[in-house]
Amino acid sequence: MTEPRDGDLEDFARDIARHRRLSAPPALRQELRASLLAAPMRLAPGRRSLFSVGALRPVLATLVVVALLAAAGAPAAASSLPGDPAFGLKRAVEEAQVALATDDVARLDTLVTQSDRRIADLETAIARRPAALNPATDEYLAAVGRVDAMLARVLQETATSARDAAIARAAAKSAEHIARLQAL
């Protein structure tokens, strides 16, 4: 099923085919080749990649600023107690640690370590800063709640040696925390 135009195109193609092939004389071809090789070459400007240094400059600047702020705030946050302004940074770092853990067993270990820090914060608040006692108690209870929730998830998983070891570590830390709380 050809359209009437196709016939016109076929006629035109036949007309072109009847003409003999044109070619430039060898002397002209040699002269053109020499002039092309002698002409100054200008390279087209390279296309910038999305990931070129110029495109990443604002991102890199932002990362540097965040790194500087974190480096400056880290010492203050590390020694902060619940209720201190820098404690929020400390908790944000801890939440990132939990988020970056590879699986629920690793998350449980991370949360147990964090609950250990919260009981140390509670002991410090009792000994040195009684005004921080309520926030320290709330943070410890929240940390224990996070451990309990993760422990419930881990207990539902298939038994493995890593899972069983993490549960044993959590139980041992729980017993240690009870002893430390009774000593307060």
Of 160, 122, 166, 130, the C-alpha closest to 147 is 166
Asked whether residue 30 is domain-assigned, the answer is no
Dist. CA 110–CA 182, nearest whole Å: 24
**Which tokens in the block code for residue 75?**
């010492």
Q: Which domain, by its residues, includes 144?
A: 91-183
Asked whether residue 8 is domain-assigned, the answer is no
pLDDT at 58: 76
Dist. CA 164–CA 105, nearest whole Å: 9
pLDDT at 77: 72
pLDDT at 116: 95
Q: Is the pLDDT of residue 2 over 60?
A: no
Of 122, 119, 128, the C-alpha closest to 147 is 119
The pTM for the full model equals 0.61
Of 39, 170, 18, the C-alpha closest to 109 is 170
Asked whether residue 131 is domain-assigned, the answer is yes
Per-residue DSSP letter, 130: G
Of 83, 91, 86, the C-alpha closest to 73 is 86
Percentage of residues in the chain with pLDDT exceeding 70? Answer: 86
Asked whether residue 110 is domain-assigned, the answer is yes
Whether residue 112 contacts residue 176, with contact meaning beta carbons closer than 8 Å, is answered with no
Total domains present in the chain: 1
Mind giving me the DSSP string for 104-117? HHHHHHHHHHHHHH
Whether residue 154 contacts residue 106, with contact meaning beta carbons closer than 8 Å, is answered with no
Asked whether residue 153 is domain-assigned, the answer is yes
Asked whether residue 143 is domain-assigned, the answer is yes
pLDDT at 93: 84
Asked whether residue 62 is domain-assigned, the answer is no
Asked whether residue 4 is domain-assigned, the answer is no
Mind giving me the DSSP string for 83-94? TSTTHHHHHHHH
Query: For 95-132, what is each residue's pLDDT tens digit?
Result: 989 999 999 999 999 999 999 999 999 999 999 988 88
Query: For 23-56, what is each residue's pLDDT tens digit?
Result: 778 888 888 888 888 877 777 766 666 555 666 6
Span 70-94, average pLDDT = 80
Whether residue 136 contacts residue 87, with contact meaning beta carbons closer than 8 Å, is answered with no
Lowest mean pLDDT among 52-66, 130-144, 166-180: 52-66
Close Cβ partners of 142 (under 8 Å, ≥ 6 residues apart): 118
